[in-house]
Amino acid sequence: MNKKKNLMAVSLLALGSLLQANSIEIENAKVNFSGFIDAFYSYDLNRPDTSKRQDFLFNHNRHNEFNINLALAKVSVEHEKYRANLALQAGTYPEDNYGHEPDNYQHLHEANFGLSLNSENSLWLDVGVFSSHLGFESAISMDNYTLTRSLAAESSPYYLAGAKLTYIPSQEWELAAILSNGWQVIDKEDGNSMLSLGTQVIYTPNERTTLNWSTFIGSDEPDAQRRMRYFNNLFGEFVLDDSWSVIAGLDVGLLQKNKGSSSYDMWYIPSLLAKYTIDKEYALGMRAEFVHDSDGAVIAGNGHGAKTLGLSSNFDYMPQKNVALRAEARWLKDAHNAYNENESSTLFITGSLAVKF
């Protein structure tokens, strides 16, 4: 990392240490301070020539190198009638995933303000940069069943910039409509006059079942070359008992081949994840996934798109509820050698030590 990145990382860690476990109350609003650090090491048995591995992976994407995937310092404000979040970040995740953004945005993980629009506080408007409504995984590795992110997560937005209207009519239902600058962009492309539309429906019939349907319609390209993107994300999370929980997901997307064309490149990604909690300290995670993206709409690979089968196995040790030592073996096999011109498969081992505070 250069001096600027080193300074940012040190600042985040220092801020996180100062704010650890602190919360204060101001004008009937609760102000919370929190942080997260995910340090990792990964070894790719294909032994790539450079430390960075695949361009379509954005988390724990270094070979034979100790590094920080994500260091995060966050302040949030909670009030009956308004809310706000500000989070700064450093690490290989923002370096890889925000590289297309202007420099002043790359260390901005979250910055948004929300206002209640009715007396019941069931209708909220949030504006700014916020986590995407697409997918069942986040950038915080400790919140996910497996250490590395699924190909579905890596192929859809982690964040959006725009406005989100959320309506919660009951404990079972949550509905949202989102206007954003585009498919994981903060700064719009010059010449693009279109805003993108997203929707989300969450149904939680009981404490053990969550069903989600999210959509995205829009384009990131200038008006003269505009290709429309249509995307559906569906998943269900099921807590089977005190030990077992399962996530089943399906992403389906269409990308217009050319402006005004009736032909589309299509991709789909089914995913199945399971988590087995042995006790308070130990857990196992498993994932099976498949990517069909022959036209390279989201995974260009070696110019032939991707038809990828992925399997992974995860072991977690949590000596404290806010500390996780995790190890994962992940195998990917692709019909078009998306990872290496001479290899149809790859196996990599990743370890992480992460803490929330």
All domains of the chain, ordered by start, with CATH?
A: 3-356 (2.40.160.10)
Contact call for residues 198 and 133 (beta carbons, < 8 A): yes
Q: What is the helix (H) or strand (E) element at residue 93, kind and residue range?
A: helix 92-97
**What pTM, to 2 d.p., does this model score?**
0.89
Residue 242 exposure: Cα atoms within 13 Å on the Cβ side: 3
Query: Which residue in 229, 136, 138, 125 sits closest to 176, CA to CA?
Result: 125
Tens-digit pLDDT profile for the chain (357 aa)? Answer: 455 555 555 555 555 554 454 778 777 899 999 999 999 999 999 888 777 777 788 999 999 999 999 999 999 999 999 999 999 999 999 999 998 888 889 999 999 999 999 999 999 999 999 999 999 999 999 999 999 999 999 999 999 999 999 999 999 999 999 999 999 999 988 899 999 999 999 999 999 999 999 999 999 899 999 999 999 999 999 999 999 999 999 999 999 999 989 999 999 999 999 999 999 999 999 999 999 998 888 887 666 778 899 999 999 999 999 999 999 999 999 876 666 666 778 899 999 999 999
The answer for residues whose C-beta is within 8 angstroms of residue 111's C-beta and 6 or more apart is 85, 86, 87, 128, 129
The answer for residues whose C-beta is within 8 angstroms of residue 176's C-beta and 6 or more apart is 133, 164, 165, 166, 167, 198, 199, 200
Contact call for residues 334 and 345 (beta carbons, < 8 A): yes
Q: Tell me what pLDDT residue 6 has.
A: 54
> pLDDT digits over 238-264, tens only?
999 999 999 999 999 999 999 989 999
> pLDDT digits over 153-186, tens only?
999 999 999 999 999 999 999 999 999 999 999 9
